[in-house]
Amino acid sequence: MNLIRKLSEKWKDVEHPFLIHPSGELSFSEVASQEPIDLSEVKSGDVVALIGDFDPPSILTLLRLIDLDVILVPLTMETAEDHEYFFESALVNVVIRNGEVERREHKNSHPMIDELRKRGNAGLVLFSTGTTGRPKAILHDFSFFLKRFDTPRPTLRTINFLLFDHIGGINTLLHTLFNRGVVVAPEDRSVEGILATCKKYRVEVLPTTPTFLRMMLMSGLIPDQVPDSLRIITYGTERMDQPTLDQLCDFLPGVDFRQTFGMSELGIVRVKSEARNSLFMKVGGEGVETRTVKGVLQIRSANRMLGYLNASSPFDEEGWYDTKDVVEVRDGFYKVVGRTSEVINVGGLKFMASEVERVALLFHDVSLVKVYGKNNPITGQHAEIIVQPKALENFDKVSFKKHLAEHLQSHMVPRKIMVEDVEVGHRHKRS
């Protein structure tokens, strides 16, 4: 692959920087011409774990590895405790850490990796972030992955909020490179740090998550600390709730809110939001088909992964992937209302945890909530709720309970209310 040569040609007449990093502002030629690490021991077809970040050396090394047609496994130090598991699952035989190249013995093989080597194509391994079971090793043919960037897109200044080992982070980097934009690598991914960086460097696009946006609302820093340069906020990786989106739209009337939908198994899928204040979206684009089966979204994509390296295939015989997302359909638009694992069944009456969460978030003193099903010897299940108030000393539990009873059907009312912090940690977010 001649990726660096291709990108150098794209950037040869561009004067603005490609990368804004705590270490400085660099053009693409400055990133590409830095002193490279010695990759003489790395061979085509090697499975290479690159432990890095969106810094100039890591970016250059990533691009050089793609050109060497290796099978790339991008990792960060945030997941250091899992690295040995990742190395074994992905059959890693080279580790690059802090500019040092270490070869490892790995006697096992996998037919999908063998096939990639026969094709002479670069590969990409990402790890799932599901909450159940060990992470799955997701293998892509990098040549297919890169094809989506052939279509030109607007040149924008984007902050790379998502991490180096996240499909959204890799997508932002490559999208910026292919469209001659500017990527801003933040030093601090706290709410304060992200907003300060956006203001300092006149950021136009903030790709983020619903959790981070809720934390923005809780911080009290918006709208005052949001720069007028910010044109677009995208959100994905988890379900957004309507009360949060409504508040954001009210606070930031000049910002276009766009939902994204992507799974590492499927790659980044094109999405069009119905409106900035709507959770309905169209999912599809070239090479992507959608359908619903019993209310659950299924997708068939030409750019899907080759498969899991450490688990059985999730695709059916016709290539459809069950997203496990329960959706509402309206005029060709989908709205994710929850996951199949979030269905609560009380005496045969089924409902989504998200329905209860939506009502709970309408209570004026509530910041975050989490609803889940609990086994019940009589009804099979009942709902329970964790509530994080805006101010603990002002929270009226009795009034909150009354609010739930007035706005929910009786079987949906949580049997137990716990007032404590709601865990919001995600592997893709670093503070």
What DSSP string describes 257-306? EEE-EEETTTEEEEEEESSTT---EEEE-TTEEEEEETTEEEEEETT--S
For 347-380, write each residue's pLDDT tens digit. 999 999 999 999 999 999 999 999 999 999 999 9
Structure-token pair, residue 49: 């774990």
98 in a structural domain: yes
Mean pLDDT of 404-430: 81
Mean pLDDT of 306-321: 94
Mean pLDDT of 189-194: 93
pLDDT at 132 exceeding the cut of 70? no
Residues in the chain: 431
Of 183, 229, 241, 239, the C-alpha closest to 207 is 183
Mean pLDDT of 203-216: 92
- Residue 49 contacts by C-beta under 8 Å, 6 or more apart in sequence? 73, 75, 83, 86, 87, 90, 92, 94, 95, 96
Q: Rounded to an integer, what distance in angstroms lies between the CA atom of residue 14 and that of residue 91?
A: 40
169 in a structural domain: no
178 in a structural domain: no
pLDDT-above-90 percentage for the chain: 76
Our count of domains for the chain comes to: 2
30 in a structural domain: yes
Side-chain half-sphere of 402: how many Cα atoms within 13 Å? 4
For 229-276, write each residue's pLDDT tens digit. 999 999 988 889 999 999 999 999 999 999 998 788 987 788 999 999
Mark which of 146, 174, 198 sits at the end of a domain. 146
Question: Strand, helix or coil at 224?
Answer: coil
Mean pLDDT of 29-50: 95
The reported pLDDT for the residue numbered 420 is 93
The reported pLDDT for the residue numbered 130 is 56
The CATH number assigned to the domain holding 364 equals 3.30.300.30
The pairing of beta strand 296-301 with beta strand 288-293: antiparallel
| Parent domain of 405 | 349-419
Structure-token pair, residue 279: 């959770």
Of 388, 366, 362, 384, the C-alpha closest to 375 is 384
Mark which of 84, 116, 146 sits at the end of a domain. 146
pLDDT at 298 exceeding the cut of 80? yes
Residue 283's Cα: distance from chain center in Å?
Answer: 16
Mean pLDDT of 187-208: 94
Give pTM, 2 decimals: 0.85
Q: What is the mean pLDDT of the chain?
A: 92
The CATH number assigned to the domain holding 124 equals 3.40.50.980
Whether the Cβ atoms of residue 367 and residue 419 lie closer than 8 Å to each other: no
pLDDT at 426 exceeding the cut of 60? no
267 in a structural domain: no
Res. 51 pLDDT band, cuts 50 70 90: very high
Q: Rounded to an integer, what distance in angstroms lies between the CA atom of residue 114 and that of residue 102?
A: 22
Res. 427 pLDDT band, cuts 50 70 90: very low
390 in a structural domain: yes
56 in a structural domain: yes
Of residues 134 and 57, the one with the higher pLDDT is 57
Provide the angle, in degrees to the nearest 10, between the axes of the packed helices 242-251 and 353-361: 40
Mark which of 110, 128, 146 sits at the end of a domain. 146
426 in a structural domain: no
pLDDT at 131 exceeding the cut of 60? no
Neighbours of 131 (CB within 10 A): 7
